[in-house]
Amino acid sequence: MESTRPRTADEPLLSIDDLQVHFHTEEGTVEALDGVSLSIGRDEVLGVIGESGCGKSVTALSTMGLLQSPPAEIVGGSITYDGTELLDLTDEELNEIRGDEITMIYQDPMSSLNPVLTIGQQVKEPLLAHRDVTDEAAHERAVEMLESVGLADAERLMTEYPDALSGGMRQRVVIAMALITEPKLLIADEPTTALDVTIQAQIMDLLTDLREEFEMSVLFISHDLAVISEIADRIGVMYAGNVVEQCEMRTLFESPLHPYTRKLAESIPSIEDEDDRLPTIEGTVPELIDPPSGCRFAGRCPQYIGEVCDTVEPPLETPSAIDDGDQKVACHLYDDQREAGPPWPVGDEAPSDTDGGARTGVDGS
Ligand SMILES: Nc1ncnc2c1ncn2[C@@H]1O[C@H](COP(=O)(O)OP(=O)(O)OP(=O)(O)O)[C@@H](O)[C@H]1O
Ligand code: NI
């Protein structure tokens, strides 16, 4: 194991590299993640945006080690957390990290709360499971946590059941549970989507405050650019199982590179506007069973440049003309800005799929 390797401050806390996840179904193999790469620095909030079905939750669940296998299979790639390869850990080793150093909140607060346990029992649980604390100390800390997430009358709340709480209060309880161990990494998968707009804004304000207070890194997933732009430092844009662009939040609006990101950036975010979802782009997301072999956006791309788009999967790289090394894009428009140049002249015959295309590490199956 690599866990003893000395780490440096600027090394990412979490690094997902070329992650490939398949689901084996009766209809065939769903190639859900096709080489996803994302990294999150220490104390950084990385937003992940993309349409429904593009692989945001599968990426999160893979990181938590919570993918159901079968039907899921991680067929390649790596997830390194604080110098440790998570994909190599045993369940027992993973259990030590999960719920302690890495925690997660979900879209639907009810799915994270057990209706037959009191709020107190549930908020204390991560501490009792992961720390050598007395029930009394855990109780005291749980009350403090409920207060920090803006819940009044915390002592009384400890004895209530989830049923007695509104949706917004439940999500605050879930956040208290997720933060009670002071995790280094919080994964938030659409934490406000199930809430109405006013409550959504309150929860976003709360998360923004807590992320500072707890000095934690956050992987923040949403399909709503307005919500993400409020909290994220950097953003990863996903499309059909790929990351098509990764950049600073500001860069997404100022100088997006990928045609899909440009479409996204055209929508001016505003949290008051309930309908401010991903802008509509003609066409549909490709099937992930037997997906197209080249760029998965090619069929909808307003800047489609020809056969190369249909046949070669573009790697996620920083074009040489861009001086911001943090901005990476996966698009053939930038092929001539790659050191090696385009894989072959546009319009020439593509190598067969089984050659693995121009990119190493991508399975051509
Ligand atoms: N258990 C499963 N069996 C088969 N396919 C699955 C399974 N879970 C996820 N998938 C597929 O994996 C792909 C990615 O799904 P995922 O849930 O990660 O999308 P998402 O980006 O989180 O979407 P949403 O915004 O709707 O939550 C989808 O095509 C989905 O159909
Ligand atoms: Ni999801």
Structure-model confidence comparison of residues 345 and 75, the more confident one = 75
Same domain for 172 and 224, yes or no, is no
How many domains does the chain fold into? 2
Q: Which of 58, 192, 223, 228 to probe ligand 1 with, by most ligand atoms within 8 A of CB?
A: 58
pLDDT at 235 over 80: yes
Q: Is residue 167 part of a domain?
A: yes
Structure-model confidence comparison of residues 73 and 350, the more confident one = 73
The angle that helices 135-148 and 167-179 make with each other, rounded to 10 degrees, is: 130
Residue 71 Cβ < 6 Å to ligand 1: yes
Contact call for residues 231 and 204 (beta carbons, < 8 A) = yes
Over residues 176-230, the pLDDT tens digits come to 999 999 999 999 999 998 888 999 999 999 999 999 999 999 999 999 998 999 9
Residue 93: what residue type?
A: E
Same domain for 87 and 129, yes or no, is no
Q: Quote the ligand 2 centre to 213 CA distance (angstroms).
A: 27
Q: Is residue 359 part of a domain?
A: no
Q: d(Cα 123, Cα 142) in Å, to the nearest integer?
A: 6
Q: 345 CB contacts (<8 Å, ≥6 apart)? A: none
Same domain for 254 and 334, yes or no, is yes
Q: What is the DSSP letter of 332?
A: G
Q: Is residue 27 part of a domain?
A: yes
- Among all bound ligands, the one having the nearest atom to the CA of 61 is 1
Q: d(Cα 344, Cα 329) in Å, to the nearest integer?
A: 19
Q: Is residue 91 part of a domain?
A: yes
Nearest to residue 113, comparing CAs of 181, 211, 121, 101? Answer: 121
For residue 83, give Cα distances in angstroms to 8, 11, 205. Answer: 10, 9, 31
Same domain for 79 and 130, yes or no, is no
Q: What pLDDT was estimated at residue 112? A: 86
- Among all bound ligands, the one having the nearest atom to the CA of 54 is 1
Same domain for 70 and 191, yes or no, is yes
Residue 235 Cβ < 6 Å to ligand 1: no
pLDDT at 277 over 70: no
What's the pTM? 0.88
Residue 54 Cβ < 6 Å to ligand 1: yes
Q: What pLDDT was estimated at residue 36? A: 97
Same domain for 117 and 93, yes or no, is no
Q: d(Cα 252, Cα 11) in Å, to the nearest integer?
A: 23
Q: Is residue 120 part of a domain?
A: yes
Which of 116-125, 260-269, 297-306, 326-335 is least confident?
Answer: 260-269
Same domain for 331 and 294, yes or no, is yes
Nearest to residue 64, comparing CAs of 114, 27, 107, 14? Answer: 14
Q: Which of 20, 54, 289 to probe ligand 1 with, by most ligand atoms within 8 A of CB?
A: 54
Which DSSP string do the residues of 144-168 spell out, in sequence order? HHHHHTT-SSHHHHTTS-GGGS-HH
Q: What is the mean pLDDT of residues 37-61?
A: 96
Q: What pLDDT was estimated at residue 344? A: 46
Residue 280: what residue type?
A: T
pLDDT at 358 over 70: no
Same domain for 302 and 189, yes or no, is yes
The mean pLDDT of the chain is 88
Same domain for 320 and 236, yes or no, is yes
Q: What is the DSSP letter of 208?
A: H
Same domain for 136 and 263, yes or no, is no
Q: Is residue 4 part of a domain?
A: no
Q: What pLDDT was estimated at residue 348? A: 47
Quote the percentage of the chain above a pLDDT of 90: 74
pLDDT at 264 over 60: yes
**Tell me, what's the ipTM?**
0.99
Residue 69 Cβ < 6 Å to ligand 1: no
Q: What pLDDT was estimated at residue 266? A: 82
Q: Quote the ligand 1 centre to 36 CA distance (angstroms).
A: 14
CATH code at position 251: 3.40.50.300
Over residues 66-108, the pLDDT tens digits come to 999 999 999 999 999 999 999 999 999 999 999 999 999 988 8
Confidence of residue 9 (pLDDT cuts 50, 70, 90): low
Same domain for 229 and 309, yes or no, is yes
Name the β-bridge partners of 21: 33, 74
Over residues 134-182, the pLDDT tens digits come to 999 999 999 999 999 999 999 999 999 999 999 999 999 999 999 999 9
Same domain for 34 and 93, yes or no, is yes
Domain that holds residue 148: 111-182
Q: Is residue 363 part of a domain?
A: no
Q: Is residue 41 part of a domain?
A: yes
Q: Which of 21, 27, 56, 69 to probe ligand 1 with, by most ligand atoms within 8 A of CB?
A: 56
pLDDT at 361 over 70: no
Q: What is the mean pLDDT of residues 308-315?
A: 95
Q: What pLDDT was estimated at residue 11? A: 87
Atom 4 (ligand 1): residue with closest C-alpha? 23
Q: d(Cα 337, Cα 7) in Å, to the nearest integer?
A: 32
Residue 223 Cβ < 6 Å to ligand 1: yes
